[in-house]
A and B are shown apart, each in its own frame.
Chain A
Amino acid sequence: MNSILNYFKDIHHAVSTLWGGMRITGKYFVSPGEIVTHQYPENRDTLRMADRYKGEIIMPHDADNHHHCTGCGICEMNCPNGSIKVLTDRLPNAEGKMERVLNQHIYHLEMCTLCGLCVKTCPSGALAFGQQFEHAVFNRSKLTKTLNQPGSSLKKETKG
Chain B
Amino acid sequence: MYDFSQLTGAIDAALHRSMTPGWALFTELVIIGLVVLILYALVGLFLVYLERKVCAFMQNRVGPNRVGPYGIIQTIADLIKLLMKELIPIARADKFLFNLAPFVVIIVSFMALAAIPFALGLQAIDLNIGVLYVTAVSSLGVVGILLAGWSSNSKYALIGAMRSGAQIVSYELSVGLSLLTVIVLAGSMQLSEIVASQADGWWIFKGHIPAFFAFIIFVVASTAEINRGPFDLAEAESELTAGFHTEYSGIKFAFFFLAEYMNMFIVSALGATLFLGGWMPFHIGHWEAFNHIMDFIPPLVWFLLKTFFLIYVIMWFKWTFPRLRIDQLLTLEWKYLMPLSLVNIVVVAFITLMGWHF
Instruction: Spell out A's residues near B (CB within 8 Å).
Output: 11, 18, 21-22, 24-26, 28-29, 32, 34-37
Contact = CB atoms under 8 A, between A and B. Distances in A.
Q: Is the interface of A mostly helix, strand, loop or mixed?
A: helix
A25 B58 contact: yes
B316 A26 contact: yes
A28 B62 CA distance: 12
A29 B57 CA distance: 5
Contacts of B320: 18, 21-22, 24-25
B17 interface: no
Contacts of B57: 28-29, 32, 35
A44 to B, nearest CB: 15
A25 B61 contact: no
Contacts, number: 34
B58 A29 contact: yes
Interface string B336-352: 10000000000000000
B27 interface: no
A25 B316 contact: yes
30 contacts: A11-B336, A18-B320, A18-B321, A21-B320, A21-B321, A22-B316, A22-B317, A22-B320, A24-B320, A25-B58, A25-B316, A25-B320, A26-B58, A26-B316, A28-B57, A28-B58, A28-B59, A28-B60, A29-B54, A29-B57, A29-B316, A32-B57, A35-B57, A35-B60, A35-B61, A35-B62, A36-B60, A37-B60, A37-B61, A37-B62
Interface string B28-65: 00000000000000000000000000100111111000
Nearest to A30: B57
Q: Which 4 A-B pairs have the closest CB atoms?
A: A25-B58, A25-B320, A37-B62, A29-B58
B319 interface: yes
Given A26-B58, A26-B316, A35-B57, 11 more contacts: A21-B320, A21-B321, A22-B320, A25-B58, A25-B319, A25-B320, A28-B59, A29-B58, A36-B61, A37-B60, A37-B62
Contacts of A32: 57
Nearest to A27: B58
Interface string B308-336: 00000000110111000000000000001
Nearest to B216: A15
Nearest to B54: A29
With a 10 A CB-CB cut-off, give which of B60, B61, B316, B321 has the most chain A CB atoms.
B60
Contacts of B58: 25-26, 28-29
Contacts of B321: 18, 21
A127 to B, nearest CB: 39
Nearest to B230: A18
Contacts of B316: 22, 25-26, 29
Contacts of A35: 57, 60-62
A28 to B, nearest CB: 6
Contacts of B59: 28
Contacts of B61: 35-37
B128 to A, nearest CB: 37
A34 B321 CA distance: 21
A61 B108 CA distance: 71
